[in-house]
């Protein structure tokens, strides 16, 4: 509820109370309440303080405070009213003059005639200026000072009942709502936030243009950053350009409709925002779910990787252990190889020495076999007694030499003549096998008996098969 709404509520309570159908009553005494403003605070340009108050004629309520304004304030107010009455009279006369001379009214009265209620109940009002222009009745009320809401409300209700358009005229209208009088608010707020001003400029313009010109102040509403903002605007208008509501009250710009439009706009924006927020929330939730899923998968992967790494690590450890063992084995083997190589070398050297010594010994023994041994120099370059060796080996050497001689004699006497004899045979080579016709002599038979493997005999009666087998063979 903004300050305009409070002024409207104040008006509604007042009307309802006047009509005897109060909307708000005191919880204690159940009598009607009115909405009042703290005037002192307004003078200090502070925010208006509104409060509910009992009517003056209620005495019996326990929570009623009988606050009376200080006598000085009342006197000052009275003095103010007297002081302001001359400008009031001047403005009324100027206004009447302009309407009378420039608007050709069917009827006009300038504060000199009562307007009686059409119902005939005897109620009457005397407007500052009354005029009938083009069939429409106008009551112009000049408002320069403060007036009770009750006066304003009752007057407006009276004219509304009588189909008269009431126009409240201000001489001056401040745009700062903190310094606007509550009376001004009580007038312009219920009038769709339209305030009409007839100042010196407008008077000059009206005389010049020969038509009543009023400056109208009105509020426009817009939505800015999620809030309804209002702005005062003003235009110069004539009474031909005014609009009229059901209550005959004239207005220039329908600020209520504007405010309503702004409210709807705000609601639309808020609804859009809400939908957007819902959408954003949904997207955010989906994104969160997606991220959570991603995280879950990632953690799973990490877990798998960790398990894998652990397995690889333990395998590596095992391999390392094996490698260490192998290195140890290798070292051992290397050592063994080296030992064996050294041993082999030693054996080779010993063998070589042994062979060399044996050779030398053999030659020596062979050369000096017939000589005394005791004081001989031997291949070991040492004087030593080798007679025992001599006795053992000299006989064997002699035997070997004898055997050689015997083999040589046998070769010359037996083997070579036999070979010659064999070569004498007429030999034919058929298919890699040599065939020969053996003469029937006793010495060949002995040969056949001696070499049963090399020579095979084929009888003449079997000659038919000579080419089918390799019976007679001499290699
Ligand atoms: Zn009460």
Distance, CA 182 to ligand 1 centroid (Å)? 25
Distance, CA 364 to ligand 1 centroid (Å)? 163
Distance, CA 151 to ligand 1 centroid (Å)? 24
Do both 117 and 57 map to the same domain? no
Distance, CA 64 to ligand 1 centroid (Å)? 6
Distance, CA 28 to ligand 1 centroid (Å)? 5
The parent domain of residue 31 ranges over 1-67
Distance, CA 56 to ligand 1 centroid (Å)? 11
Do both 82 and 61 map to the same domain? no
Distance, CA 152 to ligand 1 centroid (Å)? 25
Do both 52 and 103 map to the same domain? no
Distance, CA 322 to ligand 1 centroid (Å)? 104
Do both 86 and 203 map to the same domain? yes
* Position 224 in a domain: yes
| HEC string for the chain | CCHHHHHHHHHHHHHHHHCCCCCCECCCCCCEEEEEECHHHHHCCCCCCEEEEECCCCCCCCCCCCCCCCHHHHHHHHHHHHHHHHHHHHHHHHHHHHHHHHCCCCEEEECCCCEECCCCCCCEECCCEEEEECCEEEEEEECCCCCCHHHHHHHHHHHHHCCCEEEEEECCCCCCCCCCCHHHHHHHCCCCCEEEECCHHHHHHHHHHCCCEEEEEEEEEEEECCEEEEEEEEEEEEHHHCEECCCCCEECCCHHHHHHHHHHHHHHHHHHHHHHHHHHHHHHHHHHHHHHHHHHHHHHHHHHHHHHHHHHHHHHHHHHHHHHHHHHHHHHHHHHHHHHHHHHHHHHHHHHHHHHHHHHHHHHHHHCCCCCCCCCECCCCCECCCHHHHHHHHHHHHHHHHHHHHHHHHHHHHHHHHHHHHHHCCEEEECCEEEECCCCCHHHHHHHHHCCCCCCCCCHHHHHHCCCCCCCCCC
Distance, CA 68 to ligand 1 centroid (Å)? 17
Do both 31 and 131 map to the same domain? no
pLDDT at residue 374, as a whole number: 47
The residue among 17, 43, 67 that closes a domain is 67
Distance, CA 10 to ligand 1 centroid (Å)? 18
Distance, CA 425 to ligand 1 centroid (Å)? 175
For 87-140, write each residue's pLDDT tens digit: 899 999 999 999 999 999 999 999 888 999 999 898 999 999 999 999 999 999
Do both 115 and 237 map to the same domain? yes
* Position 332 in a domain: no
Distance, CA 32 to ligand 1 centroid (Å)? 8
Distance, CA 317 to ligand 1 centroid (Å)? 95
pLDDT at residue 372, as a whole number: 54
Distance, CA 20 to ligand 1 centroid (Å)? 17
Each residue's pLDDT tens digit in the chain (475 positions)?
888 999 999 999 999 999 988 888 888 888 888 888 876 555 565 667 788 888 877 777 777 766 555 444 544 444 444 444 788 999 999 999 999 999 999 999 998 889 999 998 989 999 999 999 999 999 999 998 888 888 899 999 999 999 999 999 999 999 988 888 889 999 999 999 999 999 999 999 999 999 999 999 999 999 999 899 999 999 999 999 999 988 899 999 999 999 999 999 999 999 999 999 999 999 999 999 999 999 999 999 999 999 999 999 999 999 999 999 999 999 999 999 999 999 999 998 988 888 887 777 767 666 665 655 444 555 555 555 666 666 677 777 778 888 999 999 998 888 887 777 666 655 666 677 776 666 666 666 777 777 777 777 776 666 654 444 444 444 4
Task: Please tell me the total count of domains within the chain.
Answer: 3
Distance, CA 150 to ligand 1 centroid (Å)? 20
Distance, CA 25 to ligand 1 centroid (Å)? 8
Distance, CA 58 to ligand 1 centroid (Å)? 8
Distance, CA 17 to ligand 1 centroid (Å)? 15
Alpha carbon separation from 325 to 105, 338, 440 (Å, rounded): 129, 20, 84
The residue among 253, 272, 290 that closes a domain is 253
For 152-176, write each residue's pLDDT tens digit: 999 999 999 999 999 999 999 999 8
Distance, CA 191 to ligand 1 centroid (Å)? 31
Distance, CA 236 to ligand 1 centroid (Å)? 47
Do both 52 and 75 map to the same domain? no
DSSP SS3 for 441: coil
pLDDT at residue 247, as a whole number: 86
Do both 102 and 245 map to the same domain? yes
Distance, CA 95 to ligand 1 centroid (Å)? 45
* Position 386 in a domain: no
pLDDT at residue 83, as a whole number: 46
pLDDT at residue 130, as a whole number: 96
Do both 62 and 133 map to the same domain? no
Distance, CA 89 to ligand 1 centroid (Å)? 41
* Position 269 in a domain: no
* Position 333 in a domain: no
Do both 55 and 91 map to the same domain? no
Q: Domain containing 101 — which CATH number?
A: 3.40.1350
The residue among 45, 67, 89 that closes a domain is 67
* Position 39 in a domain: yes
Distance, CA 107 to ligand 1 centroid (Å)? 48
Do both 19 and 113 map to the same domain? no
Q: The whole model's pTM is what? A: 0.59
* Position 90 in a domain: yes
Distance, CA 155 to ligand 1 centroid (Å)? 28
Distance, CA 15 to ligand 1 centroid (Å)? 19
Distance, CA 172 to ligand 1 centroid (Å)? 38
* Position 273 in a domain: no
Do both 108 and 149 map to the same domain? yes
């Amino acid at each position: 509820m903004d300050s305009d709404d409070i002024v409207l509520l104040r008006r509604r309570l007042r009307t309802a109370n006047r009509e005897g159908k109060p909307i708000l009553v005191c919880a204690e005494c159940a009598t009607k309440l009115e909405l009042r403003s703290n005037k002192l605070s307004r003078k200090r340009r502070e925010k208006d303080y509104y409060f509910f108050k009992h009517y003056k004629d209620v005495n019996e309520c326990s929570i009623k405070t009988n606050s009376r304004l200080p006598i000085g304030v009342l006197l000052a107010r009275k003095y103010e009213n007297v002081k302001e009455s001359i400008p009031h009279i001047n403005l009324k006369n100027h206004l009447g003059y302009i309407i009378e001379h420039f608007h050709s009214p069917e009827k006009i009265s300038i504060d000199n005639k009562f307007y009686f209620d059409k119902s005939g109940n005897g109620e009457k009002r005397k407007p500052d200026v009354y005029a009938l222009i083009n069939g429409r009745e106008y009551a112009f009320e000049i408002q320069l000072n403060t007036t009770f809401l009750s006066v304003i409300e009752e007057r407006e209700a009276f004219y509304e009942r009588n189909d008269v358009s009431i126009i409240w005229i201000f001489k001056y209208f401040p745009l700062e709502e903190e310094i606007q009088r509550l009376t001004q608010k009580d007038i312009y707020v219920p009038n769709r936030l339209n305030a009409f001003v007839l100042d010196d400029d407008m008077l000059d313009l009206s005389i010049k243009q020969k038509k009543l010109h009023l400056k109208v102040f009105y509020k426009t509403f817009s939505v800015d950053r999620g809030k309804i903002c209002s702005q005062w605007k003003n235009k110069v208008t004539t009474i031909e350009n005014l609009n009229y509501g059901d209550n005959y009250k004239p207005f220039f710009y329908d600020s209520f409709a504007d405010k309503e439009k702004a409210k709807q706009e705000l609601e639309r924006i808020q609804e859009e925002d809400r939908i957007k927020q819902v959408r954003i929330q949904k997207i955010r939730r989906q994104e969160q779910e997606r991220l959570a899923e991603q995280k879950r998968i990632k953690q799973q992967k990490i877990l798998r990787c960790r398990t894998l790494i652990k397995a690889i690590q333990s395998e590596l450890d095992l391999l390392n252990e094996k490698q260490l063992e192998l290195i140890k084995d290798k070292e051992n083997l290397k050592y063994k190889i080296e030992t064996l190589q050294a041993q082999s070398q030693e054996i080779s050297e010993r063998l070589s020495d042994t062979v060399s010594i044996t050779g030398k010994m053999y030659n020596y023994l062979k050369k000096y076999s017939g000589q005394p041994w005791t004081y001989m120099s031997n291949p070991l370059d040492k004087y030593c007694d080798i007679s025992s060796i001599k006795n053992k080996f000299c006989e064997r050497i002699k035997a070997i030499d004898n055997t050689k001689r015997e083999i040589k004699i046998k070769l010359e006497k037996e083997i070579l003549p036999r070979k010659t004899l064999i070569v004498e045979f007429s030999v034919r080579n058929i298919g890699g096998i040599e065939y020969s016709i053996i003469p029937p002599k006793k010495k060949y038979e002995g040969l056949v008996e001696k070499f049963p493997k090399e020579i095979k005999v084929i009888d003449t009666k079997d000659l038919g098969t000579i080419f089918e087998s390799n019976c007679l063979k001499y290699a």
